[in-house]
Amino acid sequence: MDISAYMADVGQKARAAATAVARSSTAERNDALLAMADALDASRDALTQANRQDLEAGRENGLEPAMLDRLELTPARIDAMIEGLRQVASLPDPIGEITGMSYRPSGIQVGKMRVPLGVIGIIYESRPNVTVEAASLCLKSGNATVLRGGSESLHSNQAIAACIAEGLRKVGLPEEAVQVIKTRDREAVGKLIAMPEYVDVIVPRGGKGLIERISRDARVPVIKHLDGVCHVYVDSHADPEKALAIAVNAKTQRYGTCNTMETLLVDAEIAADILPLLARAFEEKGVELRGCDRTRDILANVASATEDDWHAEYLAPILAVRVVDGLDAAIAHINRYSSQHTDAIVTENYTRARRFLTEVDSSSVMVNASTRFADGFEYGLGAEIGISTDKLHARGPVGLEGLTSQKYVVFGDGHIRS
Amino acid sequence: MDISAYMADVGQKARAAATAVARSSTAERNDALLAMADALDASRDALTQANRQDLEAGRENGLEPAMLDRLELTPARIDAMIEGLRQVASLPDPIGEITGMSYRPSGIQVGKMRVPLGVIGIIYESRPNVTVEAASLCLKSGNATVLRGGSESLHSNQAIAACIAEGLRKVGLPEEAVQVIKTRDREAVGKLIAMPEYVDVIVPRGGKGLIERISRDARVPVIKHLDGVCHVYVDSHADPEKALAIAVNAKTQRYGTCNTMETLLVDAEIAADILPLLARAFEEKGVELRGCDRTRDILANVASATEDDWHAEYLAPILAVRVVDGLDAAIAHINRYSSQHTDAIVTENYTRARRFLTEVDSSSVMVNASTRFADGFEYGLGAEIGISTDKLHARGPVGLEGLTSQKYVVFGDGHIRS
């Protein structure tokens, strides 16, 4: 197979389909999503069979149990894909919204119209349900999409792609509006991220290694989500009950998510009072603490934190703890070690809360709330394609709006510039 | 000079200064801009002298007269720089604006806060007044900036930099908030665009060659403005008077700007009536026409347009003219040949106007107005750092907002996720 020619063909078809999708009505796109849901529902056997092929090959190739688990399309996961499509169909259409129309002294009227980005490339790893999730969000926002899933889920993804194509066909939208790459060849990824003429943006979803590689090599803009080294700072003016509840929730509500707290900062003024309470709560949850020297002066049994611990995204029941001298030291630590994902302060002090909000340069900054809230659904975006740790375009949880752009529209009545 | 070490030092200082600028108050940044204006006013002799050095070297090196003209700092141009600084100081501060705060079912309150991008690198060519313009917009929007001007204007830029530094010093902001690169070595540009740890975005201002090179090699996001191949489509339902006024204005009001019309499309239904009127008007202005075969059937003396003409950004009194079969053909031509900068329709037909607005994928789309209006000042942005032909982040004229980002802010009262 000539990968260059194949990907150029995919790209061309995507570009052509993008024009058709951009012109389609809200109802057409929603109907396509509902028709995809119906097609998935009617194809449960085919999906399960294709998935079984992937699972068998995975076992033969010695895939780890965790990978095999993510790969599996259980009946419940098929239900979730179907339900997801119906939910996306029910979201408001972001496309076409015109805002800010106002008259200028010259007499022209100027505003902005929300429009699709065009063609979105999504690169992801093992979970085949991402195929449906990514395709539905891109279509809803008026874009064409090229999907490249994990090579271990190729059969499952192709079976899902057949249902997506059926849905598009039913409403008369071009099937090429959603293309799932048919080859396992890694060269296809290299091509996909280097075709600015056909692809407008790449959204990689997966481990840090994948995302770093893609960001480095891409010739197309990337909406990327690197790591989540999130902090909670317990200020000396914190309400101890809130501090305890937030710290425990931010760390233990789920360990493996990017908005989980990885480092706890405690103001020296209250460290001796609150650290023992926090330590007890974390012990009950089975969380291992790694502390700075001042933490260990208070908590005798805590292991010593090294420089690496301040940088660590554990994604595990481990927590780094540091005693800091007040707000300035806390902000300095966060702006140095945070991955600029989500950071929170616990305080009752108005001025400190305001300073933390202004001076911490992260995509989500919180006062008296758990970092675990940093999520597209919790923020009311209705959907989430990922969480961006970039500053340009989309920052923080990315919903449908992050897959759109705004162009200027100008209304005149024969106006000319003088 | 070790360019790597020098640029790393510049980058580190810029990053540190960015934190200080981000924390500064609106009044401090405005006062700095006004102090810079005063310093320029008090340094007219030094500026003229430094500029004379550049002009003499330029003449010795055989710079073209047009380049020498752009390089010159006349008293009027120094006045304009001073006036520009005072105008930027008087603009509203974009930083800190909080929008969309709303309560979620969980009880948290979520919204967005506008924040600086951080460090902005600006790469530009001969005109030294860009130094003041770029520095002032970046500072106003709370960013630190690293400026790399044309090597032929090094002395002028350093003299301007001294005034900028004086302004910053006066209000107690770090001088490194605006750094003008002190070397002519081209390697400095290569380093500047490959330091994502120190530079958040690059804005290149200059010819297409410069911008293409930077976009290709950058390891940092680029807000770029490539070319302006702008169209006016005269629909069969156009008011002939408006069509004539708009076409002539879009082409002839200024020839060398990116929002000047380069191709005129005329609906076949009215071509025989309106083309002779248009031809006469353009002849009076001395504009050379290059037409398709159908244009030449109507206008006997017009030269034949080749495929290259549809792609051409003439920036000169030359205009490509094509007769098209209605709206669909016009949109197809535009979406194929336009540089997605600015395109306009002249029509009295509601449905056609609406379709043109929706289906033309350009950063500015206009109805019954001259493409020459595509400009940050005309759009009311108050300032313009450039016009972006990208789709992500900023599209079309980029004002202060384009130099900012939005982060999420979350207010809770001890809220945890369940």
**Averaged pLDDT for residues A128-139:** 94
CA distance B204 to B148: 10
Measure in Å the smallest separation between the Cα of A49 and chain B Cα atoms: 36
Query: Is residue A126 pLDDT above 80, yes or no?
Result: no
pLDDT given for residue A210 in this prediction = 87
pLDDT given for residue A26 in this prediction = 97
pLDDT given for residue B208 in this prediction = 83
Q: Residues B384-405: pLDDT tens digits?
A: 888 898 899 999 999 999 999 9
Identify any residues that bridge with B183 across adjacent strands, giving them in sequence order: none
- Please give the DSSP secondary-structure letter assigned to residue A402: G
Binary contact (A408, B110; C-beta < 8 A) = no
B161 at A interface, C-beta within 8 A: no
> Helix, strand, coil proportions of chain B in percent (round to 5)?
50, 20, 30
Considering only the C-alpha atoms of chain B, give the largest distance between any 2 of them, rounded to a whole number of Å. Answer: 79
Binary contact (B416, A104; C-beta < 8 A) = no
Q: Residues B13-62: pLDDT tens digits?
A: 999 999 999 999 999 999 999 999 999 999 999 999 999 999 999 999 99
Residue type, A285: K
Q: Residues A241-267: pLDDT tens digits?
A: 999 999 999 999 999 999 999 999 999
Cβ of B336: how many Cβ atoms within 10 Å?
9
pLDDT given for residue B54 in this prediction = 96
**Averaged pLDDT for residues A368-386:** 93
Name, in order, each residue with C-beta under 8 angstroms of A239's C-beta and a sequence gap of 6 or more.
A346, A348, A368, B414
Residue owning tokens 């496309």: A95
Q: Residues B246-275: pLDDT tens digits?
A: 999 999 999 999 999 999 999 999 999 999
CA distance A387 to A259: 10
Residue owning tokens 């802010």: B409
Answer for the pair A384, A257: CB distance below 8 angstroms, yes or no. Answer: no
pLDDT given for residue A138 in this prediction = 97
Give A-chain residues touching B416 at CB under 8 angstroms.
245-246, 248-250, 253, 369-370, 372
Binary contact (B374, A249; C-beta < 8 A) = no
Q: Residues B175-233: pLDDT tens digits?
A: 999 999 999 999 999 999 999 999 999 999 888 888 889 988 888 889 988 789 999 99
pLDDT given for residue A206 in this prediction = 82
**Averaged pLDDT for residues B86-113:** 96
Distance separating the N- and C-terminal Cα atoms of chain A:
58
Interface test with A, best of B97, B355, B408 (most A CBs within 10 A): B408
Q: Which of B216, B380, B409 sits opposite A110 (nearest CB)?
A: B380
Answer for the pair A403, A121: CB distance below 8 angstroms, yes or no. Answer: no
**In terms of DSSP H, where are the helices of A343-400?**
350-359
What H or E segment, with its residue span, contains residue A267? strand A261-267
Query: Is residue A358 pLDDT above 90, yes or no?
Result: yes
Residue type, B49: Q
Joined together, the tokens standing for residue A162 give 């057949």
Binary contact (A416, B370; C-beta < 8 A) = yes
Binary contact (B118, A361; C-beta < 8 A) = yes
Residue owning tokens 């919790």: A378
Measure in Å the smallest separation between the Cα of B159 and chain A Cα atoms: 32
Query: Is residue A226 pLDDT above 80, yes or no?
Result: no
Answer for the pair A153, A77: CB distance below 8 angstroms, yes or no. Answer: no
**Percentage of chain A with pLDDT > 90?**
89
Q: Which residue of A has its CA nearest to B403?
A: A392
CA angle A379/A178/A86 to nearest 5° reads 45
Interface of A with B in 5-24 (CB under 8 A): 19, 22-23
Identify any residues that bridge with B365 across adjacent strands, giving them in sequence order: A409, B343
Q: Residues B55-91: pLDDT tens digits?
A: 999 999 999 998 899 999 999 999 999 999 999 999 9
Confidence of residue A48 (pLDDT cuts 50, 70, 90): very high
pLDDT given for residue A125 in this prediction = 85
**DSSP letters for B313-368:** ---SSEEEEEEESHHHHHHHHHHHH--SSEEEEE-S-HHHHHHHHHH--SSEEEEE
pLDDT given for residue A382 in this prediction = 85
Instruction: Please name which of A340, A332, A344, A333 lies closest in space to residue A234, comparing C-alpha atoms.
Output: A344
Binary contact (B410, A96; C-beta < 8 A) = no
Query: Is residue B138 pLDDT above 90, yes or no?
Result: yes
pLDDT given for residue A293 in this prediction = 98
Measure in Å the smallest separation between the Cα of A380 and chain B Cα atoms: 7
- Please give the DSSP secondary-structure letter assigned to residue A361: -
What H or E segment, with its residue span, contains residue B129? helix B129-140
Measure in Å the smallest separation between the Cα of B130 and chain A Cα atoms: 23
Q: What's the sign of the alpha-carbon dihedral A146, A152, A158, A164?
A: negative
CA distance B158 to B48: 12
Query: Is residue A305 pLDDT above 90, yes or no?
Result: yes
Q: Residues B267-302: pLDDT tens digits?
A: 999 999 999 999 999 999 999 999 999 999 999 999
Q: What's the sign of the alpha-carbon dihedral A197, A198, A202, A204?
A: negative
Answer for the pair B362, B338: CB distance below 8 angstroms, yes or no. Answer: yes
Instruction: Please name which of B157, B104, B162, B103 lies closest in space to residue B130, comparing C-alpha atoms.
Output: B157
Query: Is residue A389 pLDDT above 90, yes or no?
Result: no
Joined together, the tokens standing for residue A67 give 């990978």
pLDDT given for residue A153 in this prediction = 94
Q: What is the pTM of this model?
A: 0.91
Query: Is residue A215 pLDDT above 90, yes or no?
Result: no
CA distance A317 to A248: 11
- Please give the DSSP secondary-structure letter assigned to residue B222: B
- Please give the DSSP secondary-structure letter assigned to residue A226: -
Considering only the C-alpha atoms of chain A, give the largest distance between any 2 of them, rounded to a whole number of Å. Answer: 79
Q: Which of B393, B413, B417 sits opposite A373 (nearest CB)?
A: B417
**DSSP letters for A200-224:** SEEEEES-HHHHHHHHHH-SS-B--
> Domains plus CATH for chain B?
3-223+398-410 (3.40.605.10), 230-373 (3.40.309.10)
B169 at A interface, C-beta within 8 A: no
Instruction: Please name which of B318, B322, B368, B314 lies closest in space to residue B339, comparing C-alpha atoms.
Output: B314
Identify any residues that bridge with B289 across adjacent strands, giving them in sequence order: B319
Binary contact (B361, A118; C-beta < 8 A) = yes
Joined together, the tokens standing for residue B16 give 């540190």
What H or E segment, with its residue span, contains residue A382? none
Instruction: Select the more confidently predicted residue: A393 or B238.
Output: B238
Interface of B with A in 21-40 (CB under 8 A): 22-23
Joined together, the tokens standing for residue A302 give 């805590």
CA distance A196 to A193: 8
CA distance B76 to A321: 60
CA distance B87 to B236: 44
Q: Which of B110, B246, B409 sits opposite A414 (nearest CB)?
A: B246
Cβ of B395: how many Cβ atoms within 10 Å?
23
Name, in order, each residue with C-beta under 8 angstroms of B247's C-beta and a sequence gap of 6 or more.
B232, B234, B261, B264, B278, B281, B346
Give A-chain residues touching B113 at CB under 8 angstroms.
357-358, 365
Answer for the pair A122, A148: CB distance below 8 angstroms, yes or no. Answer: yes
Residue B114: helix, strand or coil by DSSP? strand
**DSSP letters for A294-336:** HHHHH-TTPEEP-HHHHH----SSEEEEEEESHHHHHHHHHHH
Interface of B with A in 69-108 (CB under 8 A): 96, 102, 104, 106, 108
Instruction: Select the more confidently predicted residue: A216 or A139.
Output: A139
B416 at A interface, C-beta within 8 A: yes
Joined together, the tokens standing for residue A354 give 């305001």
CA distance A90 to B411: 28
